[in-house]
Amino acid sequence: MKNILITGLPGVGKTTLVMRLAKHFEHLQPAGFYTAEIREGGIRKGFQLVSLDGRKELLAHVDIKSSYRVGKYGVDLNKFEEFLKALSLLESASRFIIIDEIGKMECFSKYFCELVGKIMDSDKFLLATVALRGEGFIDKVKKRKDVRAFEITEKTREKVFQELVNLIGKRLSMEHKEVLAERHWDEAIKKALESNRILIIGAVDRGKSTFAKYLVGEFLRKGKATVFVDSDIGQSSISIPGTIGLKKIEKPEDIGSFADLLFFVGYTTPSISIPHFLEIFSRAIEKARSFNLPIVVDTTGFVSGEGRSLKVKKVEIFNPDIVIAIQKENELSELLSDIKVPCLVLEPSSKVFPRDQQVRANYRKERLVSYFKDSKSYLFPLRLFKEPINVYNASSYLERMVGIFSGEDCIGVGYIEEIDEDGVVVRANLKNLKDVKSLRLGKVKLSGLLEEPQ
């Protein structure tokens, strides 16, 4: 089936699931849009359309006077249709279309309904959310024979995500070359494929992960496995916030899949402790080298101020054959002047979409929820902690990230639930409790990482 529908009750996480999939498969360059809530003082006032390339338009609001209404919200049909026409989804070079959502508001538009029908009839792969209940066009799309529908709940959401990762990956991953269609990247790809150590740098939302995933896919097409190291500790594509992830890429389904190994950092921005971050980065690189395979390293968007010197240090540690620098308007020129290895400068992919704070928060939350889905509570003695614990100030430790170690190897990540003289209760997902030899405190609390997700 090439038309996938996701349905479920309002607030169950349909949009979040779709955005996770968009992030997971960003190397396939999906086109489309999602719908975000507009909140004022914590109260929902309306809905905004956000395209995957960053364009925004108002869909509905309590202050809109319109004959098209859903509950207290007036729908601006003209702006919605102008937004759709500007996206040109049917004519898009992308073969992967995302629509969030097919709902009552959207279905007021005859143009929208016709567009969705044409996309479903085309050779494009459609991933769309749809209202759980509804008549007319909503009911019609669900009954199509070329549709596969997934109803999600809080309990099944992660299972459906994994199922869709496999389904979409098998159908589209080996077609990524056609989808990307960025000719100005050809030279960089050619030189990278001739290299054994590739470092990718760029500011936030420049498409570093997109390029990295595309590159490891190209290595696979050449019959070569790779080791991918994602050192973006705030928005990792393969691990959870506060960690560096390492993944051996041997088959298309490995691209974007969860890391084989985690390297615990304990915070989400390197500026908290650059020397410590570089120490952990060095360990990840050392491990990656042990595979004797080409290594591709993705980095944070921290490129100015302290970030400039940080990137130079990373180059010194990794000693790449080539640095791929993705930039807009020479924004990396000063940094590149400090780098003494060959660099190739690229413009961002035209299809990379910026992510606002809400999307980033949702992404972090889903990563953490997924990781801790089957977790349990464990009581550990205080002596296992590398740092001294003050039990008389227990509240300051609650929800703090904890790295769980066997020797120098991180075998899991947890967070503190309770603490007293008897020990520390840590929520974690462990394969073998007997392997735990020490615990290390992170510098951030999970509550901070999950702040106000929508």
pLDDT digits (tens, 9 = 90+) for 362-372: 667 777 877 88
Q: pLDDT tens digit string along 144-158?
A: 988 999 999 988 988
Query: Which residue blocks in 155-298 are alpha helix, DSSP H?
Result: 157-172, 176-180, 186-193, 208-221, 274-289
Query: Which residue blocks in 248-388 are alpha helix, DSSP H?
Result: 274-289, 306-318, 333-338, 357-371
Q: pLDDT tens digit string along 316-354?
A: 999 999 999 999 888 999 999 999 999 999 988 765 666
pLDDT at 42: 84
Q: In this structure, what token pair is assigned to residue 321?
A: 């054959």
pLDDT at 417: 93
Largest CA distance in the chain: 67
Provide, rounded to the nearest whole percent, the portion of the chain with pLDDT above 90: 61
* H or E segment and range at residue 412: strand 409-420
**Confidence class of residue 452 from pLDDT cuts 50, 70 and 90?**
very low
Question: pLDDT: is 177 or 41 the higher one?
Answer: 41
Q: Is the pLDDT of residue 237 over 70?
A: yes
Q: pLDDT tens digit string along 386-425?
A: 888 888 898 899 999 999 999 999 999 999 999 988 899 9
pLDDT at 178: 43
Q: pLDDT tens digit string along 259-271?
A: 999 999 999 899 9
pLDDT at 179: 42
Cβ proximity of 283 and 216 under 8 Å: no
The predicted model scores a pTM of 0.68
E strand map for 108-265: 125-131, 147-151, 197-202, 226-230, 243-249, 261-264
Q: In this structure, what token pair is assigned to residue 293?
A: 């395979």
Instruction: Show Cβ contacts of residue 67 under 8 Å, excluding neighbours closer than 6 positions.
Output: none
Specify the length of the chain in residues: 454
Cβ proximity of 93 and 182 under 8 Å: no
Strands 226-230 and 197-202: unpaired
Residue 407: φ, ψ to 5°: 70, -125
Start-to-end C-alpha separation, the chain: 30
Handedness of CA 165, 260, 267, 327 (dihedral sign): negative
**Confidence class of residue 128 from pLDDT cuts 50, 70 and 90?**
very high
Distance CA 446, CA 398 (A): 9
Handedness of CA 123, 127, 129, 132 (dihedral sign): positive
Q: pLDDT tens digit string along 171-201?
A: 765 454 444 446 677 888 999 999 999 999 9
Assign 112 to helix, strand or coil.
helix
pLDDT at 392: 87
Instruction: Show Cβ contacts of residue 2 under 8 Å, excluding neighbours closer than 6 positions.
Output: 123, 124, 125, 126, 146, 171
**Confidence class of residue 204 from pLDDT cuts 50, 70 and 90?**
confident
pLDDT at 181: 45
Peptide bond into 366 cis (omega under 30): no
Q: Is the pLDDT of residue 75 over 70?
A: yes
Residue with tokens 């500790």: 233
Q: How many CB atoms lie within 10 A of CB 89?
A: 22
Instruction: Show Cβ contacts of residue 34 under 8 Å, excluding neighbours closer than 6 positions.
Output: 15, 18, 19, 22, 49, 50, 52, 98, 100
pLDDT at 357: 66
**70's torsion region: left (phi>0), alpha (psi -120 to 50) or beta?**
beta
pLDDT at 454: 36
pLDDT at 353: 61
Distance CA 336, CA 321 (A): 15
Q: Is the pLDDT of residue 134 over 60?
A: yes
Distance CA 49, CA 64 (A): 15
Cβ proximity of 113 and 137 under 8 Å: yes
Strands 400-406 and 438-445: antiparallel
151 has which bridge partners? 7
Q: Is the pLDDT of residue 61 over 90?
A: yes
Distance CA 188, CA 386 (A): 44
Strands 295-298 and 197-202: parallel
> Considering the chain, what is the average pLDDT of its residues?
88
